[in-house]
A and B are shown apart, each in its own frame.
Chain A
Amino acid sequence: MVETGHFALVLAFALSLVQMLVPLVGARTGNQRLMAVGGPVTVTGFALTALSFTALASAYAGSDFSVANVWENSHSLQPMIYKITGTWGNHEGSMLLWVLILTFFGALVAVFGNNLPATLKANVLAVQGMIGAAFFLFILTTSNPFIRLNPAPVEGRDLNPVLQDLGLAIHPPLLYLGYVGFSVCFSFSVAALIEGRIDASWARWVRPWTLVAWMFLTGGIAMGSYWAYYELGWGGFWFWDPVENASFMPWLAGTALLHSAIVMEKRSALKIWTLLLAILTFSLSLLGTFLVRSGVLTSVHAFATDPARGVFILCILTLFIGGSLALFALRASSLTAGGLFHPISREGALVLNNLFLTTAAATVLVGTLYPLALEALTGGKISVGAPFFDLTFGPLMVPLLVIVPFGPLLAWKRGDVIAASQRLVAAFALALAAMLVTGLFIDGASVFAALGVGLAVWLVAGALTDLAVKSGAGSVAPAVMLRRFAGLPRSVFGTALAHLGLGLTLLGIVGTLCFGTEKILTMRPGETVDLSGHTLRFEGLFPQKGPNFTEDRARFLLIGADGNANGEISSAKRFFQARQMATTESGIRTLGLSQLYLSLGDEDNDGSVVVRLWWKPLVTLIWGGGLVMMAGAAMSLADRRLRVGAPARRRKPAAALTSPT
């Protein structure tokens, strides 16, 4: 089975070479047969990659330590779930997952792309094939997960304990679905550049792909943030760690792309910009992969620190980013510009959105790469952390968030700011009220806290206003309004949900940062501590044994006002025998939207323990908002508008190439 997986991987590489060359030649020469090769080859390539991945996963599940990769990252006593997730908890396996997702998206284009012009489809598949070939080669030459050991060792070296966690099991696949999803947008852009023209169906196709990629990337980032929050035990949800930035930059660029693609689709405007943005977004995804995988950064995630790999990925990066940008420079002038619009219009608002988002992505890029550049040039070592990003990213986000509610209320081509403002009066009043209440009635609230709460409420109320206005609130009878509401296009709900989610996330961030409290103290069993109105009693340390670790679990009881215990929080220090490594499991209790967070320090000789305790008001909204944003994207994806082309097949059966599968 293992060798079958290895062989399937090699075969998939061979097919990716065919996929990258044959349809391209076909599209150049207009040869239908050569172009038709793209579809079946892509689908078969995906099937083989899936077989390969399954083989590796089953080697992990069966603790086959004759596979070096399994031996290095697994242990026979691990719970089954972590045995399986261990498949991608390491460099080699995660790269295999990367290409699996890449070929999966390629196969989706191949299967559902029958309503695309044949040459566009062939070119898109060819570009996907190029990316695939580069990464297959990378895996086979520098990161092969199927290297065997003979004789096989009896016991594995265990998965890094920090990674033995459910959150981390889901985080990389989500993130990769996002990263790699943008590869489709990239392929569409490069294909358009190769052809020298942008079809109307181009925009219609790029938008759903952007939505899919953006949805998963949002989920991946939220999941990663939550994982770091509870697993690393520092109580923070975002560290401006280079690896977090690596996933955040494509998100910012992807958000911009999401918005500019709307303009392009509706108005045929911003074509060239959208094309460039699609290239940049995937380039940032590749850059993220490079930063994480090459080990040039100091980070939790740097489990690959092999210079050969770094150089290889750098070559891939240069080839794809440089190549696509060169192609862009060469061909962009031949693309026709689209419709005109007034600065104050839906388009104008979306351009402003793009301006802010791309600038924000650029500042994050500078903050992430500057230390690397400085070290390479002068040898000086600096770290760019939260203070830098607070000063640069923050000021860029505030005006953007202020204008968000206006966007959906402006008309295309020429909008009326005053009319939009009148509709937003209620939302504005609500935000102002929230600001005043926060500033005046909550102890210790700073001006920033009040402004932050106001802004968050403004976003939420603005999103609801959008829905209300589009249902005809105030101008029609309630019954009509309800009917209209139910009949709104799903993309309208999508927009509103995404903006609402953004507001919720902001509310969570402001609540946690401005109203959170924290205590560090040493506690003896039986002692109690008060934090923001919650009383905790330390019950003591209890040794326990897990499947592949031992732990000292500290139990705390949450004491209610009546003196009775009404809940328990426990935090533990775990020790993993195989790697001789300790981890801390933080204790979290969710109370409403807020959380009590508890982390354990060292045990003193006299039986007392250092305890760090946080009260994090509204913290769950940070990730809850992310989920709402994802729901918004899913809603937009379900819009019938995006299913265009289905009629093409019905009305013109001859026009469509039948799916080869």
Chain B
Amino acid sequence: MTRKQKRLSVIVAGLAFLAAAAGLTFYALGQKASYFYMPAELATASVQPGQRIRLGGLVESGTVVRGSGATVAFSVTDTQKSIKVTYTGILPDLFREGQGVITEGAFGSDGVFVADSVLAKHDERYMPKEVADGLKAKGVWVESKSQ
């Protein structure tokens, strides 16, 4: 091989590598990213059972039921619709009725959302951003004065 050919082959190999990495990245974005929904949006979106999504909203007051062991059932609402969620594990410290929450998981075949992680807002000043935006869009959110 001449020097020119050598250089060319190195460049081609490099570009092929980058193309493969880019392809993998976009494939992964399509497959592995989970979409965020509020309960009312699920009516129009087609979410298959088993597909990973994030479900956010407020924990509906009076719906938190502790089942056997560490399993908890509650409903997530955006004040228009509410979705039943079950979760096994330890709820975050800031999980409270009437407060914002994001759950991640998938719907079971019975229509109940089985969450494998539950995020509550991290401090008193902070509401999960997606939830706040969603509620604002629905006109339910009232900006609080506290910072």
Contacts and interface: CB of A to CB of B under 8 A. Distances in A.
Chain A in direct contact with chain B (Cβ < 8 angstroms): yes
Contacts of A581: 93-94, 123-124
Contacts of A390: 32
B28 to A, nearest CB: 4
Interface residues of B, number: 38
Q: Which 9 A-B pairs have the closest CB atoms?
A: A381-B36, A601-B90, A387-B32, A388-B32, A391-B28, A298-B129, A520-B70, A382-B33, A582-B93
> Main secondary structure on chain A at its contact with chain B?
mixed
B47 to A, nearest CB: 13
B82 interface: no
> Main secondary structure on chain B at its contact with chain A?
mixed
Contacts of A602: 66, 90-91
Nearest to B95: A602
A502 to B, nearest CB: 21
Interface string A501-532: 00000000000000000001110000000000
Contact of A388 (B29, B36, B128): B29
Given A581-B94, A583-B93, A602-B91, A391 B14 contact: no
Interface string A285-308: 000000000000110101101000
B78 interface: no
Contact of B29 (A366, A396, A573, A604): A366
B122 A381 contact: no
A233 interface: yes
B109 to A, nearest CB: 22
A640 B88 CA distance: 57
Interface string A387-398: 110111001100
B14 A355 contact: yes
A612 B118 CA distance: 15
Contacts of B88: 520
Interface in A339-360: 343, 355, 359
A396 B23 CA distance: 13
23 contacts: A160-B123, A297-B129, A298-B130, A305-B126, A343-B10, A359-B21, A363-B21, A363-B25, A366-B25, A367-B25, A384-B29, A384-B33, A388-B32, A388-B33, A391-B24, A392-B24, A522-B70, A573-B93, A582-B94, A600-B90, A601-B91, A602-B90, A602-B91
Contacts, number: 109
B46 interface: no
Contact of A381 (B35, B91, B94): B35
Contacts of B123: 160, 162, 579, 581
A359 B17 contact: yes
Contacts of B31: 387, 391
A365 to B, nearest CB: 10
B4 to A, nearest CB: 14
Interface string A591-633: 0000000011110100000101000000000000000000000
Interface in B29-52: 29, 31-36, 52
A122 to B, nearest CB: 38
A381 B131 CA distance: 11
Nearest to B66: A604
A448 interface: no
Contacts of A391: 24, 27-28, 31-32
A381 B130 contact: yes
B54 interface: yes
Query: For the side of the interface on A, what is the size category?
Result: 35 or more
A62 interface: no
Contacts of B93: 573, 581-584
Of B10, B21, B35, chain A has the most CB atoms within 10 Å of the CB of B21
B65 interface: no
B60 interface: no
B108 to A, nearest CB: 19
A566 interface: no
Contacts of B139: none
B29 A370 contact: yes
Interface string B86-130: 001111011000000000100000000000000000111110111
B70 A610 contact: yes
A371 interface: yes
A384 B25 contact: no
Contact of B104 (A359, A383, A522, A600): A383
Nearest to A601: B90
Contact of A359 (B18, B28, B33, B70): B18
Contacts of B104: 383, 385
A116 to B, nearest CB: 34
